[in-house]
Amino acid sequence: MLLMLALTGCAVQAPQLLGRPPPDLPRQVELVQTPFFPQLELQCGPAALATALSANGPEIRPRALVDEVFLPGREGSLQLEMLAGARRHGMVATLLPGSLEAVMRETAAGHPVIVLQNLGLSWAPTWHYAVVVGYDLDAATFVLRSGTTERLELALRTFEHTWDRSQRWAFVALPPGRLPVTATEDEATRALIAFERNAPPDAAARAYAAALARWPDSLVLAMGLGNARHATGDKAGAEQAFRDAAARHESAAAWNNHASVLLELGRREEARRAAQHAVELGGPLRETALATLRSIDR
């Protein structure tokens, strides 16, 4: 029994999903338009990434990605670098919850999913990136672009076993402003902060605006929107974003940034009041808020 558990890893989801599928989940989906790039030796990373990026944006070929994700000394591509690689091409890379249903829902929404599988054994792994482009609940299969196979049909159970061993790692790469249907707030926030680092500020602003619309109570997303708008030169937009954030959250950061942009807009009195409010709130940002107040009073 223990051996069985050891072999199967986490709870097997396939039987439940097939036995009682969510009523709003389509029974068959296949994103036939998804391009196919057969992988070269050891380079399933670039191939999978090229597939996902080209599906929802301008075409990129694997060769262009080799220098961004392939690590010769490891003979493969690391997960973190796959995410960064997507960002460098203007897409937001968001990790999915580790469930078969999440993968299916994303696919049903038109989002191919990059997955990391261990095609071998846990003690003798064969790590492999592939792209899920469809599924069939009746046939109990997933359809993947995998390696040199354009259309690999894999039994749900087999997919689950190979995917389990990578801790169910999967992500979608989407243009800024489009959100995965299954992303959690925490993960979407993490993904956008990382995106902000790589992307032109107007793209980051678009991405933050969409996320904030879905999660309006998030301080971090509101601050991200303000910062991104400020970086594009849209000071009025930044001021509004920080004003809304400060009103919604008693946050020294929001008040500080609000004060800073008000000063840039020449609204000195309002800036002073906002900065004072930030200082009063104290906390780890007190020094920053004091610096802002000082520069207003200069």
Partner 1 sequence: MKQLQRLFAMLLVICFSNATMIQAAQAALVTTEQIAGMAAASPEDSPHARLGALMTRADVQAQLERFGLSPDVAKERIAALTDDEALMLAQQIENAPAGGSDVLGVLLFVFIVLLVTDILGLTKIFPFTRSVR
State both tokens at 263: 């000063």
Residues 6+ apart with CB under 8 A from 235: 229, 261, 264, 265
User: In terms of CB distance, is 17 or 49 closer to partner 1?
Assistant: 49
The answer for residues whose C-beta is within 8 angstroms of residue 37's C-beta and 6 or more apart is: 47, 50, 51, 54, 61, 62, 145
* Contact between residue 128 and residue 120 where contact means Cβ atoms under 8 Å apart: no
Separation of alpha carbons 56 and 175, rounded Å: 7
Of 51 and 118, which CB lies nearer to partner 1 in the complex structure? 118
CB within 8 Å of 227: residues ≥ 6 apart: 196, 238, 257
Give the tokens for residue 232. Answer: 């594009």
Q: Give least dist CB 3 to partner 1, A.
A: 24
Minimum Å gap between C-beta 40 and partner 1 is 9
Query: Closest separation between CB of residue 2 and partner 1, Å?
Result: 25
- Residue for token pair 């259309």: 151
- What is the nearest approach in angstroms of partner 1 to the Cβ of residue 107? 20
Q: Looking at beta carbons only, is 81 or 270 nearer to partner 1? A: 81
Quick one: 25 or 215, whose CB is closer to partner 1?
215
Nearer to partner 1, 27 or 63 (CB): 63
C-alpha span between 42 and 77 (Å, rounded): 9
The rounded distance, in Å, linking the Cα atoms of 42 and 136 is 29
Q: Minimum distance from CB of 168 to partner 1 (Å)?
A: 13
